[in-house]
Amino acid sequence: MFRVLTCLTAEHDWRLVLLAGLVCFVASVVAVNIFHRAIASQARTRLIWIAIAGASIGYGIWATHFIAMLAYEPGVSTGYGVALTGLSLAAAMILTSGGFGFSANAPGRWRAPIGGAIIGAGIASMHYLGMWALEVPGRVTWSMELVFVSIVLGMVFGYAALAFAIRYTDRWGTLIAALFLTLAIVSHHFTAMGAVEIVPDPTRAPDTLSLSPVFLAAAIAGVALTVLGMSLVGVLADRRLASRTGKFEAIINQLSLAQQQVEGSQMELREQKLRLDSAINHMGEGLCMFDAEKRLVVCNDRYAKMYRLPAELLRPGTHHDDIIKHRITSGILKGETSDNAAKQVLSTLNALPSNATASRVDELADGRLICVTRQPMPGGGWVATHLDVTEQRRTEAKITHMAQHDALTDLPNRVLLRERLEHALAMTCRGGAHLAVLMLDLDRFKEVNDTLGHPAGDALLQAVAARLQGCVRETTLIARLGGDEFAVIEYVENPVVEAVALAERIKKALCEPFDLGDNRVVAGTSIGIAVAPRDGTDSDEILKSADLALYSAKSGGRGSFRFFEPELDQLMHARRNLERDMRSALANGEFELCYQPLVNLKSGKISGFEALLRWHHPERGLVMPGEFIPLAEETGLIAPLGEWVLRTACAEAAKWPADLGIAVNLSTAQFRSQELVAVIVGALASSGIAPGRLELEVTETAIMDDSEVVFAALGQLQKLGVRIALDDFGTGYSSLSFLQKFPFDKIKIDRSFVNELSSAREESRLIAGAVVRFAVSLGKTTTAEGVETREQWDLLSEAACAEMQGYYFSAPVHATEVEQMLRAGIEASANAA
C-alpha cells in the first residue's frame, strides 16, 4: 500500500488526477441513471438501454484511465499503441454492458454480486490492456500482489454500486451507487499503477505510429465531454419523457379502466335485462305494465298467450282500450262481443281508482277464470298481474263440497244441514211455510254390518240415500248425519197431513228388500218428526225435538214413526237426571247387593246365592234394576257397575262355606268390553275364591247381539273353571241353537213358565210342563226361577228339577242376613213348608 501511496503522490500530476476523478464520477452518474431506465423498461428496450449504459461507463473507465495516465510521470517519454488502446475501450464497454445486463435481468440475490464481478473484470481488462498499449524506452515490471488487490477492489466496489442501484432508484440512491462505481474504477486504477515499475532501457524506442500524450489528451477531453454530456442530457430528457409518458400512460390506463367499467356495466345491464326478461316470460302469471297515458310499456309471453293477443297489440305504446276491445270483440271474454259491450267494460275499468289496488275475476269463453290484480305506480300508470285461478277455484269448490257432504252417499252432512236449516227456519219464522224435520234411523243396519260386513253396510246406506231421493221433491233437503241416521227437511202447508204422508212414503220405500249383489236384505226404519216453528225455532232445538221423537219411535217398536210431544222432552230430562244420579251413586256407594238363595231340592239345603243389584236413591228411595240397568247399558256405565258387582259378590262369597256358589248376571253391554275376562279373573284373584264357585248367568238377548264375541269370552271363562248358566230359558226363539253351540253348565227356567205350572188353563200348564221336562232331559243342572207356592214345588219335584229359587224359600236378603240364614239353614221339604 506504501508503493501505491508513493505512486499517487510522487509520480502523478494532481490536477489531472482530479480531472480523471471528475470524469469518472460523471460517467458513473450517467451509467447508473441509464441502468435505472433499463430496469424500468421491457424486453428489447431494456437491451438498448443496457448497451448505452455499458458504453457510457466503458468510455468513462477508458477516459479516466488515460487522463490518469497523462498525470503519470514515470521520468521517461511515453506513447500508446493504437490497436491495444482501441481494444481496451471495446473491452471496457462490452464487459460492463454484460455486468449491467445480468443485474437487470437475473432474479435472486446473486444478481448484484455476479454483476459487480463482471464490471470489475471489465475495469481490469480495460486497465491492463491500456497498460499493455503503453510504449516507453524501458522494461515494465509488475507486483502481482497489487495486481490481485486491484482486481478485487474493482469487483467489490462494483458489487456495492449495483446493490445500491438495484435497491434504491431515487436521487440519493443514484449518487451513492455512482460514488461506489467511481471508487471501483479509481481504486483499481491507482492500485494497479502502484504495481507498475518502469526500468529505463535506451535500446528500446517508442513506435513511430503510437499516439502522443498531447493528442491523446485532447481527444480524450473532447470526446469525453461530448459523449458524457450527450448521455447525461439524453438520460435527463428520457427521464422527463418517461415522466410525461408515465402520466400519459396513467391517463390512458384510467381511461381504459373507465371504459372497462362502462363496458362491464353495459354487459351487466344486458345480463340483468336478459335475466329479467327470462324471469318475466317464465312467470306463471300474465304481467303487463301501462304508463300514465294507458299505453303498454311491457308485457310477458304468458299475458300474450292467455288472451291470444296478436303481435301488433304487444308493441310498446299500444293503448289499453285497444287490447280490451280485442278481448271482447274476438270472443275471448265470456259474454257479448258487440262494441256496446266493449264500451260498457271500458267504462267500468276506467272508473277504477287510479291510486288504489283493484282486483277482479274475469271468466273467459273457454271456461277459464282469470284473477286480475291492478297495482298503481308512482307517477301514474299501473302494473297488472293475470293469474289463471280455474283449478284453484275448482279445488276450493271441491274442498267445500267435501266439507259439507257425506263422502259415502254424497248427501249434505250435519254441517250443511245446520246451515240450510237455519236459513229455512228464518224464512218460516218470517211467516213462510211450516218446516217438517224427519229424523230416520235404520232398524236392522247393525245386523247387516255384523253378518255381511261393512262393505255391505256401505252399499245399503247408498241404496237408502237413493230411495230417499226418490220419495221427495227436488226442494227437499236430505242429509246423512252419521252411521245409519238420516234427516229429511221439507216445507209443508199442512204439517200433520203432509208430514205423515212423507213418513209413510219413506217407510214404505225403505221396507222393500234391498238387492246388495249376492245378498237381499230388509232394513226398515224408525222416524221421528218435529214441525217448525211449533217444536223449535232454531236448528239445535228442532233437531233435538226430532231426535226425541225418533227415540220414542224406536222405544215403541221397529218400523214406526212418532211426532214430537212436549212430554218426550220431560222424559228425556228425567232420563238425563237419572243418568247423572247414577254416576254419582257409583261414586258415593249408593248401590248394594242382595242375595237370594238357590236351594237343592234333593238335599233341601242352600247350594248358593244369586247376587241381585239394588239402588237406594237418597230422594227417590229404592230404584229397581229394570229402571236403571237399560240406561246404564246405553250410557256405558254398565261396565264399571258390572265390575263393582263382580268384585263385591266374590268378596262376599269368600266369607261363606267353600261349597256355596255365587251367581252373577252379565249384561249384553259388558260383552262389548275387551276387559270382561280380565275383570272376572281379577275379581277371583282378589277375593281368593275358587273359579268353580262363580256362576255367570247369560240371557239369550246378550248372546243374540253378538254371539261370536259372547261365545269366545264364555269359552275362555269356562276353561278357567267358571260355570256358565243360560238364563231365562224358553223365552227366546234361539234357545235350542244356543244349546247346540255352547256347552252351558246350567239352564235356568224362566219364571213365566213356573207360574204357568199352576195356571187354570190346561194348555198353559201343558206347555210349561213340557218346557220344564225338556230342560231336565238335556242332562244339565236345571234351576227353576220364581218359585212361590207349594204346588209349584211339588210339580217341579216331580219333574226332577235340581234347584229352585224364589220367594217360597226366601226373598233377597242383605249380606249381613246371609250369615244368619246359613246358621239357621233352610229345610226345603213339604213338612218344613
Annotated active-site positions, please? 785
| Residue closest to 496 by CA, chosen among 562, 414, 398 | 562
Q: Report helix, strand or coil for 527.
A: strand
| Residue closest to 718 by CA, chosen among 700, 749, 740, 695 | 695
Question: Which residues does 760 contact at the CB level (< 8 Å), separation at least 6?
Answer: none
Question: Which residues does 341 contact at the CB level (< 8 Å), separation at least 6?
Answer: 328, 335
Distance of CA 612 to the CA centre of its chain: 62
Widest CA span in the chain: 199
Per-position DSSP letters for 203-253, written without gaps between them? T----TTSBPHHHHHHHHHHHHHHHHHHHHHHHHHHHHHHHHHHHHHHHHH
- The one-letter code for the residue type at 661 is G
Residue 562, Ramachandran bin (φ over 0: left; ψ between -120 and 50: alpha; else beta) = beta
Count the neighbouring beta carbons within 10 Å of the beta carbon of residue 818: 21
Find out whether 106 and 114 touch, Cβ atoms under 8 Å. yes
- The Cβ-side half-sphere exposure at 231, using a 13 Å CA radius, reads 30
Q: Report the 3 state secondary structure along 375-395.
A: EECCCCCEEEEEEECHHHHHH
Pairwise CA distance, residues 780 & 775, whole Å: 8
Find out whether 608 and 652 touch, Cβ atoms under 8 Å. no
Q: What are phi and psi of 534, to 5 degrees?
A: -60, -45
The 8-class DSSP code of residue 832 comes to: T
Pairwise CA distance, residues 64 & 224, whole Å: 9
Q: What angle do the packed helices 638-653 and 566-588 form, to 10 degrees? A: 40
